[in-house]
């Protein structure tokens, strides 16, 4: 089975009973998590609960001591280069080249990913990410954090990868920028991208996620799915779950 023929009914991101950590420190202790195409999964938990280690596991920087991990059918521990080609990753502080323009950043990063894109494709991605054409050729150094996030989303749009990993994506964004960011995530979900966001922003997660999971002690202790009404989640109940995860860490 090739990386492009993994059945759609299978999870794009699949973590099965993973135990791992750093040195003598155990961080993940039987973590299981499955995310299908076109789903947004938020992962919340106290500091040290295993959120960052989960991302490092998917990126191939941490190997499971036991259990399995698959990204679109590929094991990032044994084939990290191929697995990472399936992934767009946006860290809390987006690393872009300040001396390059938004368009030049996209072109350069696509080239690093061994993917070529012409002028029109990059322009379309930047516009779809909410950046006006008059800033496409402006240097990144003068961009706000929200604008940098949009450039990162544009890169994900241009790459057409099946997975997006987000580390505290709304940290430092004002409410309007957070709302715009959620809209862009919805656009990627509609394209069938499987999205995992680790965050402390409970309200931001409630606005966009299909499921919100709570990590404690390196395992998923509760999973809450969005409803179909206007109020997708009972925010008060989510807050109680979150406080419980914090209190019992």
The domain containing residue 249 runs over which residues?
A: 1-86+162-249
The DSSP bridge pattern shows strands 66-71 and 13-22 to be: antiparallel
And the tokens for 171?
A: 């940290």
Q: How many CB atoms lie within 10 A of CB 225?
A: 10
Integer Cα distance of 10 and 201 in angstroms: 29
State which of 129, 160, 191 marks the end of a domain. Answer: 160
Q: Give pLDDT tens digits for 191-242.
A: 899 999 999 888 889 989 999 999 999 999 999 998 877 778 888 888 877 7
CATH of the domain at 74: 3.40.50.300
Whole-number CA gyration radius for the chain? 18
Number of domains in the chain: 2
* Mean pLDDT, the chain, whole residue set: 88
Query: Are 60 and 120 part of one and the same domain?
Result: no
Q: Give pLDDT tens digits for 29-41.
A: 999 999 999 999 9
Cβ atoms 169, 149 nearer than 8 A: yes
Name the band, by pLDDT with cuts 50, 70 and 90, for residue 245: low
Q: Give pLDDT tens digits for 165-184.
A: 999 888 877 888 888 888 88
Query: Are 114 and 52 part of one and the same domain?
Result: no
Q: Which residue has the tokens 């084939």?
A: 79
Cβ atoms 12, 163 nearer than 8 A: yes
Query: Are 68 and 112 part of one and the same domain?
Result: no
pLDDT reading at 67 higher than 90: yes
139: in domain:
yes
Name the band, by pLDDT with cuts 50, 70 and 90, for residue 91: confident
Residue 46's nearest CA partner among 21, 27, 20 is 27
Cβ atoms 138, 126 nearer than 8 A: no
CA angle, residues 192, 209, 57, in degrees to nearest 5: 75
């Amino acid at each position: 089975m090739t990386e492009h023929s993994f059945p759609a009914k299978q999870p794009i991101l699949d973590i099965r009973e993973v135990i791992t950590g750093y040195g003598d420190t155990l961080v993940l202790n039987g973590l299981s998590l499955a995310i299908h195409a076109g789903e947004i999964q938020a992962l919340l938990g106290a500091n040290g609960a295993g959120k960052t280690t989960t991302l490092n596991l998917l990126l191939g920087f941490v190997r499971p001591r036991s259990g399995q991990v698959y990204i679109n059918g590929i094991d990032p521990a044994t084939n990290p280069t191929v697995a990472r080609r399936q992934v767009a990753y946006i860290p809390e502080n987006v690393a872009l080249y300040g001396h390059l323009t938004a368009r030049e950043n996209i072109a350069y990063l696509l080239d690093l990913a061994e993917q070529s894109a012409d002028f029109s494709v990059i322009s379309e991605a930047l516009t779809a990410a909410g950046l006006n054409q008059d800033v496409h050729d402006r240097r990144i150094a003068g961009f706000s954090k929200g604008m940098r996030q949009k450039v990162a989303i544009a890169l994900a749009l241009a790459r057409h990868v099946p997975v997006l990993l987000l580390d505290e994506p709304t940290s430092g964004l004002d409410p309007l920028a957070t709302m715009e960011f959620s809209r862009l995530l919805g656009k990627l979900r509609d394209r069938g991208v499987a999205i995992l966001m680790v965050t402390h922003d409970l309200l931001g997660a409630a606005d966009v996620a299909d499921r919100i999971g709570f990590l404690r002690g390196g395992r998923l202790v509760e999973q809450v799915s969005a409803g179909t009404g206007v109020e997708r989640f009972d925010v008060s109940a989510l807050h109680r779950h979150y406080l419980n995860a914090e209190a019992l860490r």
